[in-house]
Homo-oligomer: A and B are copies of this chain.
Amino acid sequence: MFEAAELGQKVDKATYAARVPELVTRLLEAQRALRAAQVPVVIIVSGVEGAGKSEVVNRLTEWFDPRGVQVQAFWDETDEERDRPRHWRFWRRLPARGTIAVFFGSWYTQPIVARAFDQLTDAELERALARIEALERMLTLDGALIVKLWFHLSKKAQAARLKDPRKGRKGEWKLSPLTKKFAKRYATFARLSDAAIRATDTQSCPWHIIDSEDRRHRDLAAAGTILTAIERRLAATPAATPAPAAAPAQAPVPVPVPAPAAAPTVLDQVDLAASRLAPEDYDRQIEAEQRRLFELAWEARRRRVSSVIVFEGWDAAGKGGAIRRVAAALDARLLRVIPIAAPTDEERAHHYLWRFWRHLPLAGYLTIFDRSWYGRVLVERVEGFASPDEWGRAYREISAFEEQLVDHGMALTKLWLHMSKDEQLARFQERQQTAWKQHKITDEDWRNREKWDAYALAIHDMVARTSTAAAPWTIVAAEDKRWARVQVVRTIADRLEATLG
């Protein structure tokens, strides 16, 4: 594949000087249009050592308006990054809508380098590439444009450039100390890069190979490729633009969803009546489970195993009380509770999973999400805040996300607190009558209640489609708070124990 790029294309000085002004004008126009259309752009700069990626990046920051461009270097991995699944470091640096990120190094770097140095098997590399493809597809579907550039040099051209970096040309002194180390393995990298590029050269996210022997040709080709990609993206049908949930600082307009006829769901299988606990049994059991969780959490901290715990459930099912029983079992320093309410504008300016990636725990800690990414397939589905396309593909996106947590060694617990419609009514009424509980009941709770059946169906689909062997759902019978609390603490402890092995 690379041979096709070794065409020896050259651009002379006069042609270059003549073409730059128009190119810059169009790049700036494109950048303004991107901002208006709120399209986030990731430009991936990769390729062989010595091809001058650093120079290209500098050229791009010179030609674009720098206020909307961030260069993101993925180089050293910090311990905060190592503590989370591999993709965390990319998620935290994804561009906000309407801005451009130039990724110098990217999700491709580590798998290819690790394979070249035999730290990964072929199968592991393949899986890493499949995840990359899933990530790119997810971001593209969310409205992002990803431009993937590969700067190529023939082995001969690379050797010439590295041999005498000071060869009299301006800028030649800019070789990083790492360059030579990689150049030694030209053939290995060429083979692996070729494979990686083929595996991820998709229609929505194609690769662009750029012959880098001539600098002027290289820079014009890079900028031209980016410009074409942006102009195409902007000309695309409105269907490709971000959906309502993505629009910044603007309330989503609900699309009415017809209430489905009440059908039996996975929830109907829960025996709510039988799941009760007497007070004296509760005291004994909760104490035992809390003590167990306490010991496990310290063991997990010693062994740097993290827990991610998802709390979902009907309004008034007792999420808050259950979370407090979990917190009471733990040293407060080990736990963070992240309540998920309306997103901030920084969160709205990213993919919906971004706000969860940013809160993943450090090694050895626990994070509770009080409501979670499942909002996409629950409230956003039922209320029409997400389009059928969006929530429809979210099941797969969520499973891919959770798979990364589990593969990283995290203990993932997903809890749905279930109760009957009658019990909910009783609790709503109690809340309204108790002074210090009134803040817990809002008009929205009553409105949600009217859509009970639509929610039941969404919950059924959610459990059916995202309860995997690695990340199973636990439906907690929460008709009786005592029973539910014991089961919640026990499930979290079980999951952590299983992960600790």
Q: How many angstroms from the CA of A73 to the CA of B80 in the assembled complex?
A: 15
CB distance from A430 to the nearest CB of B (A): 15
Question: Which residues of chain A (274-316) have a CB below 8 Å from chain B?
Answer: 287, 291, 294, 298
Bitwise interface map of A from 33 to 77 toward B, beta carbon under 8 Å scored 1, else 0: 000000000000000000001100110011001110011010110
Q: Are A70 and B336 in contact (CB under 8 A)?
A: yes
Nearest-Cβ distance from residue A14 to partner chain B, whole angstroms = 19
A472 at the A/B interface (Cβ < 8 Å)?
no
Contact among B78, B173, B337 for A362, CB-based, below 8 A? B78
- A435–B25 Cα distance when bound, in Å, is 7
Q: Does A354 contact B (CB under 8 A)?
A: no
A401 near B: Cβ within 8 Å?
Answer: no
**Contact residues of A between 416 and 462, Cβ < 8 Å to B:** 435-436, 439
Contact B337 A176 (CB under 8 A): no
CA distance A67 to B339 in the complex (A): 5
Asked whether B170 lies within 8 Å of A287 as measured between CB atoms, the reply is yes
> Given A80-B79, A324-B62, are A344 and B344 also a contact pair (CB < 8 Å)?
yes
Tell me whether A439 and B335 are in contact (CB under 8 A).
no
A334 sits at the interface (CB 8 A): yes
**1/0 per position for A178-213, CB-CB distance to B under 8 A?**
000000000000000000000000000000000000
Bound: A271/B338 CA distance, A: 57
Q: Is A32 an interface residue (CB 8 A)?
A: yes
Shortest distance in angstroms between A284's beta carbon and chain B's nearest beta carbon? 11
Known: A66-B339, A80-B80. A333 touches B32 (CB 8 A): no
Give the number of times this chain occurs in the complex, counting copies: 2
Which residue of B79, B298, B337 is within 8 Å of A61 (Cβ)? B337
Tell whether A174 is near chain B: CB-to-CB under 8 Å.
yes
Is A345 among interface residues, defined by CB-CB distance under 8 A? yes
Alpha-carbon separation in the docked complex, A67 to B75 (Å): 37
Within the assembled complex, what's the spacing in Å between the Cα atoms of A75 and B301?
12
**Docked-complex contact B61 and A327, CB < 8 angstroms:** yes
Q: Complex: how many Å from CA A61 to CA B336?
A: 11
CB proximity to B under 8 Å, residues A319-351? 320, 323-324, 327-328, 331-337, 339, 341, 344-346
- Measured CB to CB, the closest approach of chain B to A58, in angstroms, equals 5
Contact bitstring A231-270, B, C-beta under 8 A = 1, else 0: 0000000000000000000000000000000000000000
Partner of A66, one of B76, B298, B320: B320
Which of A32, A105, A332 has the most B CB atoms < 10 Å from its CB? A332
Query: At the interface, yes or no: A116 with Cβ under 8 Å from chain B?
Result: no
A135 and B336 CA atoms in complex are apart in Å by 25
Q: Is the interface of A mostly helix, strand, loop or mixed?
A: helix
Query: Of the candidates B73, B177, B436, which one forms a contact with A21 in the assembled complex, judged by CB atoms under 8 Å apart?
Result: B436
Could you tell me the distance between the alpha carbons of A32 and B439 in the complex, rounded to whole angstroms?
A: 9
Residue A471 lies at the interface, judged by CB distance under 8 Å to chain B:
no
Bitwise, A68-111 to B at CB < 8 A (1) or not (0) is: 00110101101110010000000000000000001011000000
> What CA separation (Å) do A171 and B323 show in the bound complex?
17
Q: A324-B62, A341-B67, A346-B345 are in contact. Are A333 and B436 (CB under 8 A)?
A: no
A139 on interface, CB distance cutoff 8 Å: no
Minimum CB distance partner of A171 in chain B? B328
A141 at the interface (CB under 8 A from B): no
User: Which chain B residues lie closer than 8 Å to A383 at the CB level?
Assistant: none
A317 to chain B, nearest CB (A): 15
Docked complex Cα distance between A176 and B331 (Å): 7
**How many angstroms between the C-alpha atoms of A436 and B63 in the bound complex?**
10
With A58-B328, A66-B337, A105-B333 given, name 16 new contacts (CB 8 A).
A25-B436, A32-B439, A58-B324, A61-B337, A62-B328, A66-B320, A70-B336, A70-B337, A71-B333, A75-B333, A76-B362, A173-B291, A174-B294, A176-B331, A344-B345, A346-B346
**CB-based closest 8 A-B pairs:** A73-B333, A57-B332, A25-B436, A67-B339, A345-B345, A79-B79, A80-B80, A78-B80
Q: List 18 A-B contacts (CB under 8 A).
A: A32-B439, A54-B333, A58-B324, A61-B324, A62-B324, A62-B328, A66-B320, A66-B324, A66-B337, A70-B336, A71-B332, A71-B337, A73-B332, A78-B78, A79-B80, A104-B332, A173-B294, A176-B333
Listed in ascending order, the chain A residues whose CB lies under 8 Å from chain B are 21, 24-25, 28, 32, 53-54, 57-58, 61-62, 65-67, 70-71, 73, 75-76, 78-80, 83, 102, 104-105, 170-171, 173-174, 176-177, 287, 291, 294, 298, 320, 323-324, 327-328, 331-337, 339, 341, 344-346, 362, 370, 435-436, 439
